[in-house]
Structure 1
Amino acid sequence: MSSSKLPSTSFENRAKSSATRNPISLRLYKVLGTSYNEPAIREALETLSELYGAPKTNKGKAVDHEEDETGTLDAIEAKVSGSGRLISSGSGTAARARKGLRRDAELKLTQGSQQFLRAFQEVDKMFCKSILMGCASLLDQAGGLRSARHTVSEQQATVNNFLARFTLAQEEAESLQSRDSIIDAQFLRAMHNAEQIIADARLLMTGEDGPTKAGVDIITTASQQIEQGYDKLTRWCSLEFRQFVKDALLEVTPIMREAIKWLRKKPELLSEALSSLSQTRQSTLMNAFMDALTRGGPGGLPRPIEIHAHDPLRYVGDMLAWVHQCIAGEREFLEGLFGLKGDRRMVGSVRKFDDSEEEGWIRELMDKAFEKLRYPLKTRVRQTVRSQESCIASYKVANLLSFYNLTMRRTIGDNAALSDTLNEITDEAYQIFYDTVEAQARSLARTLLPDDQNAQPPVALLDHTQVLREMILVYKSSLMGGESEDELRKGFQSILDLMVDAAVNMCLSVSDARQTQRPGWDNDLFVLNCLTHLLNVIRSFPFAEYKAKELQTDIDARAELLITDHLNNILRDTSLAECVNVCASNTAEPISRIGAMQSQPLSLALRAFAVWLSTPDVVHPSRLVPLLDRRLAENVHHAALHSLVDVYERICAEVRRPENKYEAANTILGAQRPFGNLSALKQILGVEVTSASRQP
């Protein structure tokens, strides 16, 4: 059995394996195994049924729409039973459908597409018409929108320009309103823009309609912003000014200079800021002055000023030089702060002050800066001046004060408070000096007579003129240069008058005293020597020329008296004095019978004259030897000799006149030299007599 079953089983297995490889079998298995209860399959079959359904006539029967091309399709009614099997109602139609399903489907699709095309053509016509109408409206609307957009753009640009011109940028507004203390170029630019906005807004409000709300709002906002900026500037300047506690820090930055320029528009704010500066500089200069007096510079160099308190000239000079240096530095700093350019004047030259607002601020700040220095400077200078006993030392200190007073006043002006202090201590120093000079003059007037009592100037006068010479040299060294002759004269006139007049009075008083004690003493020579000595001291200085002329006039007048006196002495020495008197008398009697002009006395007188012509007094008169001025002595002697020639000539003329009744007149005159010859007398005396002969 087993053997009979094996071949059968093997056959079945082979049949199954071959069936699985047969496509028809596979399709049959697939169709038989397909379920038609799926909604998609049922929908497909219903569509297929509609495609191949029987055509309907006008009475309701099915009609073939494409009878010429495809023929009549059998109606297929596909009914699906509960078991799911397909039931065909017409095998012919189904067969045709299986063959031309694709073609029929495409044909049906084409017919549907044509219907859609015809419908769409109608729709297209209607749509195009509607589109044309709509597009025209849209184009009109688009044109209006473009015009409106252009208008809006212009309005927006106008608004942006308006806002840009009449409002600050965000960063600029923040720089003005922020509470920090930073002042930079952006802040100053914001201040300028805010000010410009206010100016433009005011111009905007000058229309016919009057102020506008927008203009008022703009000005209000910008004003608030700029006021905040001014407050910030004031705080910043006050803080910066408090840093100026050393001379090394006195540097003005461009930002600070610009800040001061802005604050000058608000004088009350500028005054508030500058008050901090003045207080700082006042304390700083006071402390620096006290340090310079007692501690000196860094590391002890320069040395403290009070170390030289024993030397009044250096002590006062160092203090005044320190103050002058500070004045120059402070002035330069303030000029830079207010943006003033220096006038490049020479040191000590007169500064040209104007009436500008900046100059007013500078003067006020200078006064306040040196306010505290005035008292310690005045106290120390006054103590130094009052402690001097020598008039030279007093004058040197007073002259030094006058020099610095003039120099500083040329820098700070005559109306400065420090100038008042310098004027006060200078006047006091000169008053003390004049008191010293007057005391010396009184002491000079009480000069005791020397024992030798010669005609030379006394030692007291020499000492006095030495002091005068030193004073002149001090005054000359203190000149600034460029002074007029009148200024030079007035600068030393009071001192010169006091010193010279005191010396002249002393000489006259001594001369009178000597004349009383010693009648034979030569009073004229003593006075001339004293006056000549005084003249020699002052004559080389132009500012003393007026006083030298006064002395020269006095000397010339006394020289004329000395000439007459010297001639009289010569006439007495030559025994011609009586002869001259007789010749000068107005008498009707012949002079040959009168006194010394009688023949015998006249002969004796002419003999004595001849003897005198042989003495050295003809060339070097012993009386004039004590005169200090040798030229003056020569002039006096030569003038007396000229007069002597005139006297001899007159005597000879009187002797030769017949009405005088001299017997042997030529014998009387020719018995002694010069034998009545004027030419011989001139040669002996060494003079030339002019036509205008001098009369005794």
Structure 2
Amino acid sequence: MATSYFHDRSAGRPSDGVLSPQTPSTPSLPRSNALQTRIAAVLSASYADLEIRDTLNIIGQRHLSNSADTRRNLRLDVQDELIQCNGEIVQDFGQVANQLKRIGAAISSLNDTCAQMRRHINAASRDSKPMLDEADTLMKGKAEIDEKTRLHCAFTKHFVINDTDLLTLTSMNEPVNDDFFRVLTRIKKLHADSQVLFGFEDQRLGLEILDSSSKQLNAAFQKLYRWVQREFKTLDLENPQISSAIRRALRVLAERPTLFRNCIDAFAEARETIMSNNFYAALTGAPVDPDHPVMGKAIELSAHDPLRYVSDMLAWSHSATVSEREALEVLFISEGNEIAKNIQAGIESEPWTRAADDEDTEVFDPRKALDELTDRGLAGVFRQIGQRTEQVIQSHEDAVLAYKISNLVHFYTTIFTSVLGPDSSLLSTLSPLADTALRSFRSLIRDNIAALHVDSSVSPSDHTTPDFLLDALSTLTTLMQSYDTSAAADTDLERRREGIRDVLEEALDPYLSACENVTKRLRNPGKLVFALNCLVATETTLKRYAFADRSKELRGKIEAHLDELVEVVHLFLGHESGLDPLRDSVASPEDVPANMEKLATAARQLDAFLPSASDDARGLLEQLEDKAIVRRVVEDACERFVEDFEEVEGWVLEADEKHANQVNGDAEEEDEVMFRDLFPRTSGEVRVLLS
């Protein structure tokens, strides 16, 4: 299509100055060059050019056909359309010019009106200026009055207490409730804030407010002080639901340390009286308050055993101490240590309450104060326990009972130490009780030992363990059981041994000394049997408890006595068998030929003795109570007897051998008697018969 378009343009547009190829007046070569130049120009044109693109769009919008007439008239049509558009534009600009003229006339009219209004405004301003100045002055005065009114309202609201609140704070007829503490908190803040007023030149207002608030605070704390004292008189610590008001009152009252201490002192005295009455009620069963009867049987009626009686009293006191401490902890101990902080603040606000030489006041310790208050409340109970326990100790002359009471008191002393601390004054009441019981125990033991010297003067006929030692060991077993129970919490073996050492010295050593005195008057083997019976019984008793074990000390004595007893049985076997008399005559192989008669006699006596030798040896030790020791002694003695027999047997065999060497074999008589024939028993046969 482009080729035909350029062809049509070159053929049908003579007015463009381009001659057709048939024009004879134009040479062929220049026409060809012009066409090529036109084609090259068209081909080199950029179709991305905006002007060409817009032109093509306009042509496309007109929907023109590609004909020769259209191509010839396109420029004329475009120019004609352009002229028409220009004419329309000129016409439109004429209308705009007319409108601008009308706008200019309107603006001139507005300017005249504004100038006239400005003249009127200036005249009005000159007339109203005095009234505006007066109004401004009045507005500033009103603002100042409003500010003073606001300050007055705020001051009145903050620093002035109405009559209703003042009545709630100071009247004794009004209860101590949340409204009381709310007003009190407000007064304390008002009292603190009144010091801010001292920064102004006129301090009279601040002094008046400070004075009135101080009087109101003093009246409020006096009311609170009296209310707390009344509540303490009727306070039931056994009730788990203690009023929160009393706890809050104590924390607030701590800001007045003097009043707080007076309340605590009165409370401690009241609690001591109450606890003493409760303890008496528990002892006798008579209730202090008809509305609160005593639960369970009275201690004096149910505890017939003296030890049970003391134990029940201590158990009651322990239960009461724990309950009292828990109740007081709920009452006085709070999160954040409020009481200590309030007391410290009160001390700082009341420096006149401190002594002149007490510049460094000790900081209030709530735990220490709680322990002291518990001690004071139970002091009366512990005094009664101390008196009654001493009566029990003095009225029962029983060493075991005294020692059990001492251990029992020591056990509860350990428990109270864990509950109240080592510095508790109550421990000063319990500790002397344990010492008193222990002194009574030692005194009674010494009395028993003094009476023992008469009994020990008579020797037991059967060499068995004497009754006084058995009684002492039975008593000692009971004492060790009691000590083991009281010292169960102590895992240090050395400390437990140290605790029982005095008891062993008092309750055992004197009896062992008495047994030694009896032993000195006896003969063997009864002496050794009696000593072994006493030592073995003692060792067996002490070995039941590791803290009382004396095996190292006693075992040496036992072994020494065993060696002596083996020697005695050995001598018995040698004498009864005839071996020892033979050994006295025959001390070497050379003595055998000269004592052939004794050798034969000893052999016959030995044959008669051996079948019952072991039974005879055991019969000699029948009074020895430990059969294992009997078996060991007999076996050791028999072994030594066999060794002696082997020695004599060796001499006999050696004598036969020497005799055989001396005699000529050819001249030997057939009826020659051998020494072995006179003493035929062998060591193997003796060992079997003695086994």
Common topology (TM > 0.5): yes
Deviation, structure 1 residue 412 = 3.1
1:169 Cα offset (Å): 7.4
Counterpart of 2:546?
A: 542
1:380 has 2:388 as partner: yes
Counterpart selection for 2:618 from 617, 621, 631: 621
The match for 1:576 is: 579
Q: CA deviation at 1:388?
A: 0.8
Alignment match of 2:254 (pick from 260, 264, 267): 264
Q: 1:163 to 1:301 in 2, by over 3 A?
A: closer
CA deviations on 1:58-112 (whole Å, 9 max, x unpaired) are xxxxxxxxxxxxxxxxxxxxxxxxxxxxxxxxxxxxxxxxxxxxxxxxxxxxxxx
Structure 2 CA distance for aligned equivalents of residues 595 and 582 of structure 1 = 9
Partner of 2:175: 182
Which letter does structure 2 place at the counterpart of 1:639? D
Return the match for 1:273 from 226, 247, 263.
263
**Secondary structure, counterpart of 1:296 in structure 2:** coil
Q: 1:537 corresponds to which letter in structure 2?
A: T
Q: Please, what is the CA RMSD of the aligned residues?
A: 4.2
Aligned counterpart in structure 1 of residue 415 of structure 2, from 407, 413, 431:
407
Aligned amino acid, residue 611 of structure 2: S
- Find 1:529's aligned residue among 525, 529, 533: 533
Counterpart contact for 1:532–1:555, Cα < 8 Å: yes
8 A contact 1:181–1:236 mirrored in 2? no
Question: Which of 627, 637, 640 matches 1:640?
Answer: 637
Q: Show the 5 A alignment for 1:464-483.
A: 464-483=472-491
Change beyond 3 A, Cα 1:452–1:417? closer
Structure 2 Cα separation of the partners of residues 602 and 266 of structure 1:
114
Answer whether contact 1:201 1:215 (CA < 8 A) is retained. Answer: yes
The 3-state SS of whatever aligns with 2:296 is coil
Query: Alignment partner for residue 395 of structure 1, among 382, 387, 403?
Result: 403
Matched, 1:495 2:495: no
Amino acid at match of 2:171: S
Cα distance in 2, alignment partners of residues 383 and 558 from structure 1: 47
Query: In 2 relative to 1, CA 520–204 (structure 1 residues): closer, same or farther, beyond 3 Å?
Result: same
Separation (CA, whole Å) in 2 of partners of 1:251 and 1:371: 26
Verify the 8 A CA contact 2:456 2:514 in the aligned structure 1: no
Structure 1 residue 440: Cα displacement: 1.9
CA contact (8 A) 2:469 2:511 kept: yes
- Which residue identity lines up with residue 556 of structure 1 in the other structure? E
Q: Is the 8 A contact 2:472 2:508 kept in 1?
A: no
Q: Which residue of 1 aligns with 2:310?
A: 316
1:240 aligns with 2:231: yes
CA distance in 2, matches of 1:667, 1:211: 148
Among residues 237, 242, 245, which one is paired with 1:255 in the alignment?
245
Deviation at 1:241, TM superposition (A): 0.9
Q: What's the counterpart of residue 119 of structure 1?
A: none
Distance (whole Å) between structure 2 residues aligned to residue 293 and residue 646 of structure 1: 76
Tell me the equivalent position of 1:563.
566
* Total equivalences in the alignment: 531
Asked if structure 2 preserves the Cα contact closer than 8 Å seen for 1:251 and 1:333, the reply is: no
Work out whether residues 592 and 599 of structure 1, in 8 Å CA contact, stay in contact via their aligned partners in 2: no
1:428 to 422, 436, 445: 436
- Kept in 1, the 8 Å contact 2:229–2:263? The answer is yes
What is the alpha-carbon distance in structure 1 between the residues aligned to residue 275 and residue 626 of structure 2?
Answer: 58
Deviations 1:460-500 (A, max 9, x none): 33233222223333333445535432343344332233222
Partner of 1:366: 374
Q: CA deviation at 1:367?
A: 3.2
Q: Deviations over 1:213-245 (max 9, x none)?
A: 77666655544443333323222211111113x
Structure 2 counterpart of 1:531, one-letter code: L
Contact persistence 1:624–1:633 (CA under 8 A):
yes
Letter in 1 for 2:576: D
- Alignment of 1:553 with 2:556, yes or no, is yes
* CA deviations over 1:16-35 (Å, ceiling 9, x no partner): xxxxxxxxxxxxxxxxxxxx
2:78 is aligned to none
Q: TM-score, normalised by structure 1?
A: 0.65
| Alpha-carbon offset, residue 524 of structure 1 | 0.6
SS at 1:446 equivalent: helix
User: Could you tell me how far apart the structure 2 residues matched to 1:476 and 1:596 are?
Assistant: 70
1:292 partnered with 2:316: no
Q: Is the 8 A contact 2:285 2:297 kept in 1?
A: yes
Q: Secondary structure at the match of 2:380?
A: coil
Q: What is the one-letter code of the residue matched to 2:248?
A: E
Change (3 A) 1:636 1:220: farther
Q: Amino acid of the residue matched to residue 543 of structure 2?
A: R
Residues 210 and 294 from structure 1, CA distance in 2 versus in 1: closer, same or farther, beyond 3 angstroms? farther
Report if aligned partners of 1:392, 1:471 keep a CA contact under 8 Å in 2: yes
1:307 aligns with 2:269: no
Equivalents in 1 of 2:642, 2:680: separation in Å?
A: 13
2:68 alignment partner in structure 1: none
Decide which of 507, 514, 518 is 2:515's aligned counterpart. Answer: 507
Q: State the shift of 1:532 in Å.
A: 1.6
**Aligned match for 1:230, one of 204, 211, 221:** 221
| Residue identity in the other structure for 1:538 | L
SS in 2 for 1:370: helix
Identity %: 23
Kindly indicate whether the alpha-carbon contact (under 8 Å) linking 2:238 and 2:327 is maintained by their aligned counterparts in 1.
Answer: no
1:454 Cα shift? Answer: 0.5
Aligned to 2:324, the other structure's residue is in SS state: helix
1:682–1:129 distance in 2 versus 1, CA, 3 Å: same
Task: Return the letter of the residue paired with 2:314.
Answer: L
1:328 maps to what in 2? 322
Residue 632 (structure 1) shift? 1.9
CA contact (8 A) 1:402 1:426 kept: yes
Aligned to 2:35: none
| CA distance in 2: counterparts of 1:329 and 1:143, whole angstroms | 77
Matches within 5 A, 1:27-42: none
Aligned AA (2:175): I
Q: Unaligned regions of 5+ residues in structure 1, if any?
A: 1-125, 342-353, 584-589, 687-696
Q: What is the distance in 1 between the residues matched to 2:453 and 2:394?
A: 24
Cα distance in 2 for partners of 1:254, 1:680 equals 99
CA distance in 1, matches of 2:572, 2:534: 23
Residue identity opposite 1:328 in structure 2: V
CA shift in 2, pair 1:139/1:672, >3 Å: farther
Q: Does 449-458 or 142-151 show the bigger shift?
A: 142-151
- Alignment-mate amino acid for residue 279 of structure 2: F
Describe the superposition over 1:266-304 as per-residue Cα deviations: whole angstroms up to 9, x where unpaired: 322111111221221122223333333334346675344
The 10-residue stretch of structure 1 (375-384 or 268-277) with the greater mean CA deviation from structure 2: 375-384
- Contact 2:375-2:424 at 8 Å conserved across structures: yes
**Deviation at residue 386 of structure 1 after TM alignment:** 0.9
Distance 1:555 1:597 in 2: 44
- Asked if 1 retains the 8 angstrom alpha-carbon contact of 2:603 and 2:681, the reply is no
Distance 1:376 1:395 in 2: 21
* Alpha-carbon distance change, 355 to 413 in structure 1, aligned in 2, over 3 angstroms: farther
CA distance in 1, matches of 2:155, 2:591: 132
Relative contact order, higher structure (CA 8 A, sep 6+): 2
The one-letter code of the counterpart of 2:252 is: W
Determine which structure has more spread, i.e. the larger CA radius of gyration: 1
Which residue does 1:123 correspond to in 2? none
* Partner residue in 1 for 2:468: 460
2:26 aligned residue: none
